[in-house]
Amino acid sequence: MNAGQQRNDEVVVVVMDPDLLRKFISQVYAYGTGFIIISCVLWLITSGVKINMFSLIPVHPMAYITVAFVFLVIFMCIPYIRYRTPWNWIFAIIIVLLVTLVGVYIMGFIPILEMGVGIIIAAVLMITLQCCGARFPKKMLPGIIIVAFTACLGLIVLVIMVILMAITDDNVLFMAA
């Protein structure tokens, strides 16, 4: 082997300090909680003010859901994007903005009291999941099979919604009052 060549078959073992790993996981969950709070505040404002997003932006929410799902699939399937600092934040922010925008469309049709109760129930569930994810051992958390099943279920629901939208020619398919 020449002096300029490197061996690529070497195994590198990285051992992380458990406290450092727990701090990192807690920080990731804190960022996620921040994104959730921003979305919920925007949804409550939209529900209270009764903004009609269809008159402001004449794009069906299914388009935003589809684009968000495509970004999510790219984000999850391409490790380069997932592990590189500017790209992972760009993709995460785009996904959160698109999902928030879809929620803004839907919240225009929901009374603020029902919206508030729904957000409180969701907040209790999210706080429970956040605490469990940040504190429980990895073997107690859902594995890749559960995540893959959830992603496949989301894809199936998305395809069914697009087919129903095409068949019924209804612009407010799942938002009818």
pLDDT tens digits, one per residue of 128-146: 776 766 666 666 556 666 6
Does 129 reside within a domain? Answer: yes
Q: CB pairs under 8 A, 24+ apart, for 113-120? A: 115/43, 115/44, 115/47, 116/44, 119/40, 119/43, 119/44
Lowest mean pLDDT among 1-5, 121-125, 132-136: 1-5
Does 4 reside within a domain? Answer: no
Does 122 reside within a domain? Answer: yes
According to DSSP H, which parts of 57-143 are helical?
Answer: 61-77, 79-83, 85-107, 112-135
pLDDT confidence of residue 169:
63
Does 1 reside within a domain? Answer: no
Proportion of the chain above pLDDT 70, given as a percent: 75
Name the residue range of residue 53's domain.
19-167
Is it the case that residue 5 has pLDDT exceeding 70? no
Does 5 reside within a domain? Answer: no
Is it the case that residue 6 has pLDDT exceeding 80? no
pLDDT bin (cut points 50, 70, 90) of residue 173 is very low
Residues 130 and 30: their CA atoms lie apart, in Å, by 8
Does 2 reside within a domain? Answer: no
Does 55 reside within a domain? Answer: yes
Average the pLDDT over 47-70 and give the result: 81
- Residue 83's Cβ-count burial label (10 Å; 0-12, 13-18, 19+) is exposed
Contact 115, 44 (CB under 8 A): yes
Total domain count, the chain: 1
Q: Which of 94, 97, 103, 121 is nearest to 51 (CA)?
A: 103
pLDDT confidence of residue 9:
64
pLDDT confidence of residue 170:
58
Does 7 reside within a domain? Answer: no
Is it the case that residue 12 has pLDDT exceeding 50? yes
Lowest mean pLDDT among 90-94, 99-103, 126-130: 126-130
Whether the model clears a pTM of 0.85, i.e. scores above it, the answer is: no
